[in-house]
């Protein structure tokens, strides 16, 4: 029973973070002309992630017996927890930086440095997206086999 509760909490956490990432990337894409392609890719991946986890949540609440395979997804070092960590790190990269302070010249310098930081962060974001994609493949495969048991 405790495993089911932990699994449910992890699912909800990933869905909430995914929503936050979708919102942040949408705001960035809408406000920054010629937004980097990375933001579009991140938004698509976060939307796909959310859909997978909504399916997992429905399956968990269906009242059907969850196979050992699906229960292992929610273990402490399992794919769901790994995905939650990766998505949390990605969310931190996307969080808006604090508004620049100081006089006009210093404010411009801070803004410029913030704008130049994304190419460096973008590499880390791509690495996190690769991790998230691997976790997604594992979870999707487990969901597919679980649905074969249910039907």
pLDDT in tens, 60-74: 777 666 667 777 777
**For residue 66, what is the DSSP state?**
P
pTM: 0.70
- The vertex-54 CA angle with 12 and 143, nearest 5°, equals 110
Confidence at residue 116, expressed as pLDDT on a 0 to 100 scale: 47
Give me the domain span that covers residue 37: 2-150
142 CB neighbour count, 10 Å cutoff: 21
Mean pLDDT calculated for residue range 123-149: 81
Residue whose C-alpha is closest to residue 91's, from 35, 10, 14: 14
- Report which of residues 35 and 106 the model is more confident about: 35
Each residue's pLDDT tens digit, 114-129: 554 555 567 788 888 8
Confidence at residue 73, expressed as pLDDT on a 0 to 100 scale: 77
User: Per-residue confidence at 7, pLDDT binned at 50, 70, 90?
Assistant: confident
Domain total for the chain?
Answer: 1
User: Per-residue confidence at 99, pLDDT binned at 50, 70, 90?
Assistant: low
- The vertex-51 CA angle with 48 and 52, nearest 5°, equals 90
Query: Chain-wide mean pLDDT for the chain?
Result: 76
């Amino acid at each position: 029973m405790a495993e089911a509760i932990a699994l449910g909490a992890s699912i909800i956490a990933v869905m909430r973070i995914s929503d936050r990432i979708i919102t942040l990337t949408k705001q960035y894409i809408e406000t920054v002309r010629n937004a980097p392609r990375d933001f579009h890719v991140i938004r698509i991946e976060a939307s796909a992630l959310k859909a997978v986890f909504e399916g997992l949540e429905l399956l968990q609440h269906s009242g059907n017996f969850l196979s050992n395979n699906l229960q292992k997804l929610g273990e402490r070092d399992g794919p769901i927890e790994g995905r939650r960590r990766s998505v949390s790190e990605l969310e931190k990269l996307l969080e808006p930086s604090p508004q620049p302070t100081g006089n006009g010249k210093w404010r411009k310098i801070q803004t410029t440095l913030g704008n130049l930081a994304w190419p460096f962060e973008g590499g880390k974001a791509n690495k996190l997206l690769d991790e998230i994609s691997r976790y997604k493949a594992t979870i999707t495969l487990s969901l597919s086999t679980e649905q074969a048991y249910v039907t």
